[in-house]
């Protein structure tokens, strides 16, 4: 093992001077978590915001005093003392790391450019320490971009330049309090492990102040090798790419080009028209010009279909056509009995989800989180973002409404009978293939997509390798709910479970209004009772301030209440009832102006009360356990009632300008992408935040830009996912089961 000289240790102490002032507030990774988990990760258990930070402030002030007391002469003296003890201290450092670090110190002594780049890339102290802006990350790119060039003298006195090691970026941490770390970006030879770096740093720190020690070090891999799992996924994606190419070419050559050629034919509208005289055995003399056009179009389409009609294999290949699937995705055509306002509500709700997650997923990488988060929570305008979780209840409402509306029509068409196999199979096939395929790509390939000080060195969803089957069965909200794969997919599990139970409500509604109302009432009452009991038993909070602070029930909020179907079914039941109303009335309800205005006013009052009703609690006015139980029990169902009124009013001609807005044709393609956008948007945010080279400074303008960027990229990736996985799977179902129309 190489031994350092006295001069080398005086210089190595200079290299690590910055570590004596380590300060940063973040945990170094950005993984999508539940709301309470993210907040606890940032602020720590038992600590609240504002004036109740006394204990945390005291610990932090003590740390600052130690940092400010460090002098340059102490650093030099520490180097000399460290030299005397180097044999003991360095006993745990690997020989290769020790030798390479010695070469780094020699380069600094000689003022080599590459060695100075190592030092320059270290984090440096900044301003705003008393506001907890403690983020000295240094320069990640400068560190990993350094080319080591060490001169060696050979036996024949010739000099050669070698690269004995490469640089690696390491993030060192010192714990001030639970979940509050001071951290510093450093640059070390890549032969040093996390443990090596920690021992070297602590060796220098111990000589200066015994209370400043490095508790953890995370060194970033420069290059992640392609493993066998990644190779398999790349092969699978290549197969899909070939199918998309083949399906598109097949579609254009054999289906679309004959249509285009037929459309180029100039068919004169006259009594001498060949096509007109042959059409349906009638002469064009008996048809007006307006009647001839659609009949001619029908004839041309019939000629194309007769020219080539693909079999099952051809239809399966056509399912992968990007041209046809893209045309369907962008089409704004709707049937006369479609619920047009649903598209606008679905897109707005998805935007609301992305807005809320833009804040909450980014908490761990916000530079000013300790000062900005209390400021945000204190603003009543932020309540709409605090309560962005109600957007999920809107999705439950829409799902129940559409299931009842469409299934009741099928029952009517089948005179009380329905193909139950296809009822369930279609739903599973509609959701699962794109879900599982995307999970495969994300879990295996995410580690290759980015880099940076915060980029996770272990797969953030490694649990997917053992828990993926739970997701395939849509049970992740019940089984292993505290360790989920793709945690945001808890919604899909709830929605599938509600779908399975939905016939217990809409079938009785079809045969008897009384029986159906009784079934819906029983389910709703059971949901209310269960939610109230769970909230009371676990002392669950309802307000954002309680989730942020030391409420003992905050840790159980997601696993005992938020994820559970027996606590979240209320909005879905309201949706089933609303769908039944639209089915029985055939979307035709006449109401006078007074009743209509009363309905809109009531719906607005309910939704505003739910959305802003906890503003007082967020400003320090604690709610009682009974109030928390009442809000958690009826709040989400009440929200669904208000939104259900909007849908019913718009569908029945009582929506006015609201219906005009929500029925805007531009919402239709965006609405079709909602499912895929929900799947991908947390990954987009995780990649964005974890790839930052410096922490993100949260301001209203920065967050607005981040939100718009997250939404735009999420929908762009969702379109790719839809055309690659979702639409082809739906096309395969249609080809295999000979379905004329997709539900």
172, β-bridge pairs: 184, 217
Of residues 710, 705, 723, the one with CA closest to residue 682: 710
d(CA 265, CA 137) in angstroms, rounded, equals: 68
Q: pLDDT digits over 152-176, tens only?
A: 777 777 778 889 999 999 999 877 7
Which residues have C-beta within 8 Å of that of residue 197, sequence separation ≥ 6? 170, 172, 186, 188, 217, 219
Interior/surface letters 327-353, b for 16+ CB within 10 angstroms, e for the rest: ebbeeeeeeeeebbbbbbbbbbbbbbb
Q: How far is CA 201 from CA 171, 186, 238, 319, in A?
A: 11, 10, 46, 59
d(CA 183, CA 21) in angstroms, rounded, equals: 9
State residue 405 phi and psi, 5-degree precision: -60, -45
Position 48 scores a pLDDT of 37
- Quick one: how many helices (H) and strands (E) in the chain? 34, 5
Which H or E element spans position 163? none
CB atoms within 10 A of CB 220: 22
Residue 20 tokens, joined = 């004596």
Position 1 scores a pLDDT of 37
Side-chain-side CA neighbours of 175 within 13 Å: the count stands at: 8
Three-state SS for 171? strand
Position 92 scores a pLDDT of 74
Position 93 scores a pLDDT of 83
Residue 581 tokens, joined = 């109303």
By CB neighbour count within 10 A (0-12 exposed, 13-18 middle, 19+ buried), where does 209 fall? middle
Which H or E element spans position 224? none
Residue 93 tokens, joined = 């450092």
Which H or E element spans position 40? helix 35-43
Q: How far is CA 679 from CA 364, 431, 490, 717, in A?
A: 21, 11, 11, 10
Residue 328 tokens, joined = 């369907």
Interior/surface letters 382-408, b for 16+ CB within 10 angstroms, e for the rest: bbebbbbebbbbbbbbbbbbbbbbebb
Of residues 452, 453, 477, the one with CA closest to residue 467: 477
User: Which DSSP symbol is given to 437?
Assistant: H
Residue 444 tokens, joined = 């295996």
pTM: 0.83
Whether 124 contacts 47, CB under 8 Å: no
d(CA 509, CA 520) in angstroms, rounded, equals: 9
Whether 205 contacts 213, CB under 8 Å: yes
d(CA 692, CA 83) in angstroms, rounded, equals: 38
For residue 18, how far is the Cα from the chain centroid? Answer: 36
How far the first Cα of the chain sits from its last, in Å, is 72
d(CA 184, CA 21) in angstroms, rounded, equals: 8
Whether 329 contacts 669, CB under 8 Å: yes
Three-state SS for 625? helix
Which residues have C-beta within 8 Å of that of residue 244, sequence separation ≥ 6? 320, 321, 322, 723, 724, 728
Whether 368 contacts 131, CB under 8 Å: yes
d(CA 2, CA 229) in angstroms, rounded, equals: 40
The sign one gets for the Cα dihedral 99, 102, 104, 106 is negative
Three-state SS for 174? strand
Helix axes 503-511 and 390-413, enclosed angle (nearest 10): 50
Per DSSP bridges, beta strands 150-153 and 159-162 are antiparallel
Residue numbers in the chain where pLDDT is lower than 50: 1-53, 72-73, 75-76, 79-80, 82-84, 86-89, 267-290, 740-743
CB atoms within 10 A of CB 503: 19
CB atoms within 10 A of CB 283: 13
d(CA 114, CA 167) in angstroms, rounded, equals: 10
d(CA 615, CA 733) in angstroms, rounded, equals: 48
Whether 35 contacts 558, CB under 8 Å: yes
State residue 621 phi and psi, 5-degree precision: -85, 95
By CB neighbour count within 10 A (0-12 exposed, 13-18 middle, 19+ buried), where does 81 fall? middle
User: Which DSSP symbol is given to 697?
Assistant: P
CB atoms within 10 A of CB 121: 22
Residue 696 tokens, joined = 């993100």
Which residues have C-beta within 8 Å of that of residue 218, sequence separation ≥ 6? 28, 170, 171, 173, 194, 457
Of residues 702, 597, 708, the one with CA closest to residue 367: 702
Residue 228 tokens, joined = 């066998």
Position 213 scores a pLDDT of 81
d(CA 476, CA 487) in angstroms, rounded, equals: 9
Q: How far is CA 138 from CA 60, 291, 577, 726, in A?
A: 22, 74, 58, 43
d(CA 711, CA 358) in angstroms, rounded, equals: 9
């Amino acid at each position: 093992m190489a031994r350092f000289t006295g001069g080398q240790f005086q210089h190595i102490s200079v290299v690590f001077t910055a570590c004596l002032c380590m300060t940063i507030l973040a945990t170094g990774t950005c993984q999508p978590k539940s709301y309470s988990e993210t907040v606890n990760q940032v602020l720590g258990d038992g600590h609240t915001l504002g004036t109740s930070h006394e204990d945390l402030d005291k610990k932090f002030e003590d740390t600052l005093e130690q940092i400010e007391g460090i002098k340059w002469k102490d650093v030099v003296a520490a180097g000399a003392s460290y030299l005397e003890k180097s044999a003991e201290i360095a006993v745990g450092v690997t020989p290769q790391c020790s030798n390479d670090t010695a070469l780094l110190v020699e380069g600094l002594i000689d003022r080599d450019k590459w060695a100075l780049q190592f030092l320059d890339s270290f984090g440096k102290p900044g301003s705003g320490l008393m506001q907890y802006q403690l983020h000295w990350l240094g320069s990640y790119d400068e560190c990993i971009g350094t080319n080591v060039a060490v001169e060696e003298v050979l036996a024949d006195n010739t000099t050669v330049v070698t690269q004995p090691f490469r640089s690696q970026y390491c993030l060192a941490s010192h714990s001030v309090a639970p979940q509050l770390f001071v951290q510093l970006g450093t640059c070390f030879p890549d032969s040093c492990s996390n443990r090596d770096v920690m021992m070297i740093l602590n060796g220098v720190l111990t000589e200066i102040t015994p209370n400043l020690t490095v508790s953890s070090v995370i060194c970033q891999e420069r290059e992640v090798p392609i493993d066998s799992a990644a190779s398999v996924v790349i092969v699978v994606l290549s197969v899909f790419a070939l199918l998309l190419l083949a399906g598109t070419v097949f579609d254009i050559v054999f289906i679309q080009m004959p249509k285009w050629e037929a459309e180029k034919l100039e068919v004169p509208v006259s009594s001498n028209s060949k096509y007109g005289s042959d059409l349906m055995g009638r002469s064009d003399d008996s048809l007006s010009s307006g009647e001839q056009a659609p009949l001619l179009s029908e004839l041309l389409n019939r000629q194309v279909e007769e020219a080539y009609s693909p079999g099952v294999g051809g239809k399966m290949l056509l399912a992968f056509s990007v041209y046809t699937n893209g045309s369907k995705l962008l089409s704004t055509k709707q049937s006369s009995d479609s619920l047009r306002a649903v598209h606008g509500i679905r897109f707005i709700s998805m935007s609301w989800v992305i807005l809320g997650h833009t804040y909450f997923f980014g908490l761990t990488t916000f530079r000013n989180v300790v000062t900005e988060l209390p400021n945000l929570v204190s603003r009543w305008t932020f309540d709409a973002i605090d309560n962005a979780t109600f957007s999920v209840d809107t999705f439950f409402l829409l799902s129940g409404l559409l299931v009842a509306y469409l299934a009741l029509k099928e029952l009517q068409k089948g005179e009380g009978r329905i193909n139950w196999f296809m009822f369930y199979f279609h739903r599973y096939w509609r959701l699962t293939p794109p879900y599982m395929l995307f999970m495969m790509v994300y879990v295996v390939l995410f580690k290759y997509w980015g880099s940076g000080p915060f980029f996770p060195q272990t797969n953030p969803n490694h649990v997917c390798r053992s828990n993926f089957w739970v997701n395939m069965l849509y049970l992740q909200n019940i089984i292993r709910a505290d360790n989920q794969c793709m945690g945001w997919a808890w919604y899909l599990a709830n929605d599938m479970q509600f779908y399975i139970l939905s016939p217990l409500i809409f079938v009785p509604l079809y045969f008897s209004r009384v029986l159906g109302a009784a079934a819906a009432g029983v389910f709703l009452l059971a949901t209310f009772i269960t939610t109230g009991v769970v909230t009371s038993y676990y002392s669950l909070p309802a307000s954002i301030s309680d989730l942020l602070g030391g409420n003992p029930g905050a840790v159980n909020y997601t696993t005992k209440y938020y994820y559970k179907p027996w606590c979240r079914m209320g909005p879905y039941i309201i949706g089933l009832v609303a769908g039944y109303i639209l089915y029985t009335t055939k979307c035709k309800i006449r109401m006078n102006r007074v009743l209509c205005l009363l309905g809109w006013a009531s719906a607005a009052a309910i939704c505003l009360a739910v959305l802003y009703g906890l503003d007082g609690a967020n400003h320090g006015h604690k709610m009682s356990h009974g109030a928390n139980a009442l809000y958690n029990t009826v709040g989400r169902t009440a929200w669904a009632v208000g939104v259900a009124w909007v849908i019913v009013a718009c569908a029945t001609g009582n929506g006015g300008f609201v219906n005009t807005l929500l029925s805007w044709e531009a919402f239709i393609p965006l609405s079709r992408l909602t499912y895929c956008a929900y799947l991908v948007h947390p990954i987009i945010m995780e990649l964005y935040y974890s790839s930052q080279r410096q922490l993100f400074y949260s301001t209203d303008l920065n967050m607005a830009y981040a939100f718009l960027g997250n939404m735009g990229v999420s929908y762009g990736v969702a379109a790719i996912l839809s055309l690659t996985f979702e639409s082809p799977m739906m096309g395969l179902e249609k080809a295999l089961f000979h379905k004329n129309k997709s539900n």
